[in-house]
Amino acid sequence: MNRRLLYTVFLAFICTAFLAAQETTQESSDSQSQNEGVFVSAKKIKDSLYYLTYKNTNAVAFLGRDYTILIDGFDAKAAPKALTTAGRLSLNPVRFLINTHHHKDHTGGNGFYSQSGVTVLCNQQVYNNIWADVNASELQDLKSQRAELSNAMKSAGKSEKGKELATKYNTLSEQNIDRALSYSAMTFFDNFSMNLVNETIDFKNATGAHTSLDVYAYFQNNNVLATGDLFFNGKYPFIDEDFKGSIEGYLKALNQLIALCNNDTVIVPGHGPLASKSDLESYKRMLEYTQKGVQMDYLLGKSLEEVLANKSITANFDAQGYGNGYVKTSEYVRMLYRAAEKRYPRRK
């Protein structure tokens, strides 16, 4: 084969590869991909913005001029499929993954992304929460060791033995928070922005809402808002009380989100279909209505069982399917009842 022919063959190969890549892009722009029972779909929101869905959980892919950015990456099982799907949306590589919060359905794939050359970015609090969640039994072990030492310190008093125990106790306390994950992640503490060609993405925090810290992202030019789990569209929200989430914080977060929107904003919730500002507003009204209903019953002296039996509080929303999601109606009402108890403790 002479040089010229070789060159022509090479060119032809490049063109075919390019066309194939383009085709795949077209195909996956609105289709489902299959891999050992894992389905990740990619749907277009705007020219450079897609949302990926796996089992009713959403992630967002922004196709920048130079690289693709993912907001959330699903669990470990779906991550490989999600990365391939996002990679096929453009000719650029996926370079950054930003976590909205620590739950595994959003961060379980972090290790895979990190190993695949994607830089994982998360808030320091989210990072600590991931560690605490992944290593729950280890953390429990540290806590019980600490409790034992604390008792021993009391009996040893101010003696040398007591001091020695106190040092050990402090080390254990630090270990509780300063643990490393098995993959690299860059952490940030505050709101921040990514200033890209043709787009600015603002990342902001909400505290004590769905978890102790949730991050949401607003794409200024595209006017798209990715809420993470600060919005379970059409379902009662899960509020992680073990990780300092609360209904009061959740409502505050919804106000923050609503303030960012206008009537054209496209909202990608953590779970459920795409939404508009008015959907978000009616979601907030649903939360307020049910919260006030449960609180009122509680203040009238009703027991949890009595409130659970009072179906009128949630009937309207149950009929719309709000209780057929992650959180059943009774669990949601229990959470609201606990919140009321916390807010207005009964005298014993």
The residues that touch Zn ion, with contacts defined as CB under 5 A, are: 103, 105, 229, 270
Of the pair 271, 284, the CB lying nearest Zn ion is at 271
Of the pair 87, 234, the CB lying nearest Zn ion is at 234
CB of 58 to Zn ion, least distance (A): 9
Cα 80 to Cα 27: distance, rounded to the nearest angstrom: 18
Place of tokens 């209904």: 247
CB of 146 to Zn ion, least distance (A): 28
Token pair for 244: 């300092």
Closest alpha carbon to 326 in 224, 235, 208: 235
Closest alpha carbon to 280 in 291, 269, 293: 269
Of the pair 97, 149, the CB lying nearest Zn ion is at 97
CB of 23 to Zn ion, least distance (A): 33
Q: Where are the beta strands (DSSP E) in the chain?
A: 30-35, 38-46, 49-54, 57-63, 68-71, 94-98, 119-123, 186-188, 192-196, 199-207, 213-219, 224-232, 266-271
CB count within 10 Å of CB 244 equals 16
Q: What is the DSSP string of 227-252?
A: EEEEEETTSPPP--GGGT--HHHHHH
CB of 292 to Zn ion, least distance (A): 24
CB of 259 to Zn ion, least distance (A): 22
Of the pair 244, 302, the CB lying nearest Zn ion is at 244
Of the pair 101, 284, the CB lying nearest Zn ion is at 101
CB of 283 to Zn ion, least distance (A): 15
CB count within 10 Å of CB 121 equals 21
Place of tokens 């799907």: 85
Of the pair 120, 172, the CB lying nearest Zn ion is at 120
Token pair for 77: 């099982």
